[in-house]
Every structure is written in C-alpha cells, then in structure tokens.
Amino acid sequence: MTRVVLLALAAAALAFTQEFAELKFERLAQGYRFTEGPAWSKEGYLIFSDTPSDRLLKWVPGTPITVYREDAHGPAGNAFDAQGRLHTCETRTRRVTRTDKNGKIEVLADKWEGKRLNAPSGIVISKAGHIYFTDPAFGEQSDHRELDFHGVYHIPPKGPMTLVAKAAGRPRGIALSQNGKLLYVSNVDDHNIRVYDLDHNGEASNERVLVAKIAGAPAGIAVDDKGNLWVAAKGLSVYNPEGKRIHFVDMSDVMSGCAFGDFDQKTLFIAARALVFRARPDPQ
C-alpha cells in the first residue's frame, strides 16, 4: 500500500514538472513605464494598465496593442464581471470604477466612513458579482492619506461596501479560488499571502496565513484550474492549495501582476514593469 501511494505521489510530481517545463514564454509588449493589472475579456482581448502614463491598453491577438483609454487616473488592477463590464482601480482618484460596454463610467467606491480611500490596487470579481479589492497607500498617496490603515474591501451585488480586513502591511494582489469559497490576498510588506473563507453571502472570515516568507514583494495572484496559486513577485512562484511551493520561474524583471485568459483560460498573462508577457503550454 505504501509503495502504491509513493508511486502515485511520484507520478503526480512528474506530471507537475512536465506541465511547468512545457510553458512557453512570449513577450507581447515593451516600452511602457510600469504595467500591471492584466485582465482577460471573454470577448477575446486583454486589458492592462500603464499606471504612471495614466493609460489603459488593449491587446487583441494578432493585432498591435492600442490605447483603450487615455486619462485613466493612474490605473492599477482590472477585472471583468460576468456581464463583460470592466472594473478598474484608480490610484490617482483613489476610487474603483466600472465601465459598461457603451463606455459609461460609474464610481463604485471612493470613500470609507467618509474618508477617501488610499489607492485601490488589486481587484477580483466572483461569478455571483461580489467585488473584492485591496487598498494600500503607495507613493504620493501615503503623504495625503485620510485612513490610518491599509484595507481589503467587499462590494456585494446589493447593499453597502464592507471592510474585510485592516492590514498593518500593504495588501496588493487579490484572487478567488475556483469554487469562490476562498479569498487570497498578498501583502508586500509582510511578504505573505493570507486566505479567508467566504460564506454564501460573500462575507469573509477565518483569516490566516497560507504562504509566508515570500522572496520579494508579492503582487498579483492568479489561480489556475487545479487550484494552484501563481504569484508575481521576484520571479514567478506557483503554490498548491495547501500553500506549498511546487514551481518557480526566475525572471529578470520584477513582476507586478498576472491573470489567466485566452479561449481556454490556460494562458497566463504577466505584467512586468515595462513589459507584458504571456506563458502558454507548449503543444510540442
């Protein structure tokens, strides 16, 4: 029995190794100031931010990259909901907005208890329409902040925004498990990833550290169809659902965001300062 278990574990480890070894990296874009917030639309295109340039960029496979929006107010994280509407964290205006398919922009959050948010950064949306975002203070926002904490927030489909957590360090990336029952949040100061349980109302509880002592500043998080967490930091690390690192890709560029997309949701899009990459299983 023990031998069978060991053989099964060895086979699983080999499958993981082969899967990751077959990843093919391709540079999609370069020459930007600081990219982040890649988000894939079900209509077949990628949106990403060039934060210092105040621009949102759009990439359709097989075509050159175009400007989706100028004067985007220091855009950071992006996410699409089930209706195909784009949600963006704006660091300069300290708000979270939603853009419908006609281009109309709606402000979803800009204050907490009457005080302006810090600088919304990462955002994720559940299939049921629950919105979660991180609100750290970076750069000039740190000098003019009104809140005395870094926050993680929840905007339900109906009802007021709620506070998930007050963080001593700065929360950045945010992601959901495939079944929508777990919320993951990275923290660039604590160098960890925390996880929360989510109930049927989308409310979070049972905060705990899933991954500790991450090298570099963990930013974006993407969850694959096996439940593994792909974390953009100093290199690209992959952790299984239990928090054990199972793969690492050493990259020269510090990464700021990642997201799965493409027709089968198996392509990983990576924002890395001036560059944007995609990693795709090699068919050979």
Q: Is 80 helix (H, G, I), strand (E, B) or coil?
A: strand
pLDDT digits (tens, 9 = 90+) for 100-142: 999 999 999 999 999 999 999 999 999 999 999 999 997 666 6
Dist. CA 105–CA 155, nearest whole Å:
17
Provide the pLDDT confidence category of residue 255 given band limits of 50, 70 and 90: confident
Q: What is the pLDDT of residue 140?
A: 60
Q: What is the pLDDT of residue 264?
A: 94
Helix (H) or strand (E) holding 195: strand 192-198
In order of 2, 100, 138, the CA distances from 175 in angstroms are 36, 22, 20
Strands 275-281 and 23-29: antiparallel
Helix-then-strand count for the chain, H and E: 2, 26
DSSP characters over 244-265: -EEEEE--SSPP-EEEEESTTS
Return all residues near 42 (Cβ < 8 A) that are at least 6 apart: 80, 84
- Amino acid identity for residue 199 in this structure: D
Is residue 146's pLDDT more than 80?
A: yes
- Amino acid identity for residue 12 in this structure: A
Residue 83 neighbours by CB distance under 10 Å = 10
Task: Look at 134-143, 212-221, 238-247 and tell me which has the smallest mean pLDDT.
Answer: 134-143
Mean pLDDT of 233-237: 91
Superfamily of domain 18-281: TolB, C-terminal domain (2.120.10.30)
Dist. CA 227–CA 223, nearest whole Å:
6
Return all residues near 269 (Cβ < 8 A) that are at least 6 apart: 28, 38, 40, 46, 48, 258, 259, 260, 261, 276, 277, 278
Mean pLDDT of 235-243: 95
Provide the pLDDT confidence category of residue 11 given band limits of 50, 70 and 90: very low
Provide the pLDDT confidence category of residue 250 given band limits of 50, 70 and 90: confident
Return all residues near 86 (Cβ < 8 A) that are at least 6 apart: 39, 41, 47, 78, 79, 80, 98, 99
Mean pLDDT of 258-272: 96
pLDDT digits (tens, 9 = 90+) for 191-207: 999 999 999 999 999 99
Is residue 57's pLDDT more than 90?
A: yes
**Quick one: DSSP state of residue 284?**
-
Q: How many CA atoms within 13 Å lie on the side-chain side of 282?
A: 10
Dist. CA 122–CA 134, nearest whole Å:
5
Paired strand residues for 46:
40, 59
Of 182, 268, 194, 283, nearest to 230 by C-alpha is: 268
**Helix-strand-coil percent breakdown of the chain, rounded to 5?**
10, 50, 40
Q: What is the pLDDT of residue 21?
A: 56
Is residue 260's pLDDT more than 90?
A: yes
Q: Is 185 helix (H, G, I), strand (E, B) or coil?
A: strand
pLDDT digits (tens, 9 = 90+) for 22-45: 789 999 999 999 999 999 999 999
Q: Is 111 helix (H, G, I), strand (E, B) or coil?
A: strand
**Quick one: DSSP state of residue 51?**
G
pLDDT digits (tens, 9 = 90+) for 81-103: 999 999 999 999 999 999 999 99
* Average pLDDT over the chain, rounded to an integer: 91
Q: Is the pTM of this model over 0.75?
A: yes
Percent of the chain topping pLDDT 70: 90
239 with 264: CB under 8 angstroms? Answer: no
Q: What is the pLDDT of residue 17?
A: 44
